Structure 1
């Protein structure tokens, strides 16, 4: 990974706007910069070895394309352990929904419908 502020995960999916971070400092800077916005941030805590995480990847790609006003972020728990600990991630995948710098909701596991329900709930609150 380079010295960019963040690296956009450019897989073969179109309309991909999922951001990944390669350092805790870069994550903290990004998180602090967005703390005052009303936009929803969905943080996907994942790991390369996690099969359930891989099952959720296409869903996250679809959600990122569908909910363009939501910021989707992937954090590898093995690379950014301090961030994972700060959010008390104990199982994978874990999705933390953040608004105005605070945890608004949390979805643990392969629960596509529940995650979609939470995203829609918190994006409606923007109005």
Structure 2
């Protein structure tokens, strides 16, 4: 699997998810997991915004997990609504935001990694 800096990485297997989490931890990066469902209207609404953030904040790892495809992972993080965004650094869960709360999610990204790499957008 190629490194996808600046892109959302969809994890379809537990092995893919574990590998991405290990890479993020090893690099000391903030990992943001979007727990979603392709049939969730709120998930679909925020997906393009999440993809833009991945481009603006390449120093973080942006993962996407379909809760039905990776139920084991969703259960581990106690996901009970979608979308839910989990912020992790060095293996520690820093924050969890449930719902497509764009301002709240963006504030959390900035809180943990600072301002975007480039001010142009």
When the two structures are aligned, how many residues end up with a matched partner? 114
CA separation in 2, counterparts of 1:6 and 1:90?
Answer: 31
Contact 1:7 1:21 in 2 (8 A): no
**RMSD of aligned residue pairs (Cα, Å):** 1.9
Matched residue, 1:92: 82
Q: Which stretches of structure 1, 4 residues or more, deviate above 2 A after TM superposition?
A: 5-8, 32-38
- The unaligned stretches of length 5 or more in structure 1 are 9-14
Match in the other structure for 1:62: 52
TM-score (norm 2): 0.85
Structure 1 partner of 2:102? 112
Q: Residue 85 of structure 1 aligns to a residue in which SS? A: helix
| TM-score (normalizing by structure 1) | 0.81
Give, in whole Å, the separation in 2 of the partners of 1:30 and 1:76. Answer: 15
- In the other structure, the counterpart of 1:53 is 43
User: What secondary structure is seen at the aligned counterpart in 1 of 2:16?
Assistant: helix
